[in-house]
């Protein structure tokens, strides 16, 4: 049985298609970006870089590996382009990343 679609901000995530949409327009995420976004969106609170790596790549992360940071940066850029009025992924210093959609004009300066 496939997971139902769900919304975060103005983006609809379709796990059955492994795609995200703003209205009828596909956001154009890679498979790994989609996996990271879905993981963060379905988790309460922040996930550490190590937790994300373990769940997405399936093994332990080496100390110098920056893959999660690179993918989150690319994911943020893609989401900003597709949905410029929103910020989706927040960084919690010392904890990790979380999906907590806020309108861009509601962000503190």
60, containing H or E segment: none
- Report pLDDT digits (tens) over 15-29: 999 999 999 999 999
If you search the block for the tokens 């989706």, which residue do you land on?
Answer: 88
Domains in the chain (CATH in brackets) are 6-103 (1.10.10.10)
Q: What is the pLDDT of residue 101?
A: 95
Say if residues 61 and 49 touch (Cβ distance below 8 Å). yes
> Which band of pLDDT confidence, cut at 50, 70 and 90, is reported for residue 1?
low
Q: What is the pLDDT of residue 92?
A: 93
Q: Please state the rounded mean pLDDT for residues 5-24.
A: 94
pTM to 2 decimal places? 0.89
């Amino acid at each position: 049985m496939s997971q139902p679609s769900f919304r975060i901000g103005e983006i609809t995530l379709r796990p059955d298609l492994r795609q995200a949409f703003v209205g009828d327009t596909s956001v154009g995420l890679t498979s790994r970006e989609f996996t990271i976004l879905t993981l963060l969106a379905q988790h309460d609170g922040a996930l550490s870089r190590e937790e994300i790596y373990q769940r997405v790549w399936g093994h332990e992360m080496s100390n110098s590996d920056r893959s999660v940071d690179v993918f989150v940066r690319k994911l943020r850029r893609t989401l900003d382009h597709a949905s410029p009025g929103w910020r989706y992924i927040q960084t919690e210093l010392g904890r990790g990343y979380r999906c907590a959609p806020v309108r861009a004009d509601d962000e503190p300066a």
